[in-house]
Amino acid sequence: MSNGCVNPIGIAPDLSFLLYKNKSSFAMLFCIGLLLLYCTKLEFVNKYLGNNIREHSNGETTIKYFYDNLQENGLYLLDEPENSLSPKRQLELAEVIYEHVNHLGCQMIISTHSPFMLAIKGALIYDLDNNVKVSKWTELEGVRAYYDFFMEHEGEFS
C-alpha cells in the first residue's frame, strides 16, 4: 500500500499503522526516520502533520506538534526543537518540556543552543564542546555570548 511518498526506485512503505497504533516513542522515532528516507519534506508534512499546515507559521506548527504528540512516559530525542521558534515560543516549549518531564514521566534528550531550553529547571546539561562534562547552563560558551552581548548593550534597554 503506498502512502504517497516514493523513494528513487518507486517503492514506499506504509508505516502509518506503526505511527498511529503503536504508542512507543522508539517506534515513532524509527518510523519518522524511515519515512524521511522515502518522503520529501512536503509529502511528510502533508501526510503526517495535517492538511491545515498552511494556516500556521512554521513555529506555530512546531508548538502544535508538541502539544498534540507528546505522551506520558515517553522518551524523546530532540534535535534543536527551538529552531523555528521565536523567543516567546521557545519559553512556551521549555514549559511544555518541563511539565512533561516533571509531571508526566517523560525523558528528553535535547541537542540545543537555546538559553531557554538550557535553562529548564533541573536539566542535566552535558557540554559536548568541552570534553563532555556536566555544566551549568550559564557557563556554556553560547549562553555567555548572549550574556556578553546584552551586557554590552545594557544601556539601550529602558
Domain-embedded: residue 28: yes
pLDDT in tens, 28-62: 555 555 555 555 555 655 665 555 555 667 778 88
Strand pairing report for 75-79 and 107-111? parallel
pLDDT in tens, 103-152: 999 999 999 999 999 999 999 999 988 788 899 999 999 999 999 999 99
Domain-embedded: residue 103: no
Number of domains in the chain: 1
Contact at 8 Å (CB) between 90 and 113? no
94 phi/psi in degrees, rounded to 5:
-60, -40
Domain-embedded: residue 75: no
Rounded to an integer, what distance in angstroms lies between the CA atom of residue 78 and that of residue 149? 27
Domain-embedded: residue 66: no
Domain range for 46:
1-55
Domain-embedded: residue 13: yes
Domain-embedded: residue 26: yes
Residue 14 has pLDDT above 70, yes or no: no
Global pTM? Answer: 0.64
